[in-house]
Amino acid sequence: MSTSSGGAAARPAFQRFANGAMALCLAVMACAVFVNVVLRYGFGSGIAASEELSRLLFVWMVFIGATAAYPAGEHMAFTSLLLPLRRKPRALRVMSRVIHAAVVVAAGLVAWGAWQQVLVGLDGKSPVIGYPMALLPLPALLCTAVICVLAVIKLVRGDVVELDHDAATE
pLDDT at res. 75: 74
DSSP 161: P
Give the residue from 43, 61, 79 where a domain finishes: 61
Confidence at 165, pLDDT banded by 50, 70, 90 = low
Is the domain of 118 the same as that of 54? no
Q: Cβ contacts of residue 161 below 8 Å, gap of 6+? A: 77, 79, 82, 92, 95, 96, 99, 100
Is the domain of 40 the same as that of 117? no
pTM of the model as a whole: 0.80
CB-count exposure of residue 114 (10 Å: 0-12, 13-18, 19+): buried
pLDDT at res. 88: 83
Instruction: Name the domain count of the chain.
Output: 2
Is the domain of 20 the same as that of 49? yes
**Is the Cβ–Cβ distance between 54 and 25 less than 8 Å?**
no
Q: Can you give the residue range of the structural domain that contains 48?
A: 1-61
Percent of the chain scoring above 90 in pLDDT: 54
Span 104-118, mean pLDDT? 96
What are 14-49's pLDDT values in tens digits?
A: 888 999 999 999 999 999 999 999 999 988 888 888
**Is the Cβ–Cβ distance between 63 and 110 less than 8 Å?**
no
Is the domain of 130 the same as that of 163? yes
**Is the Cβ–Cβ distance between 155 and 97 less than 8 Å?**
yes
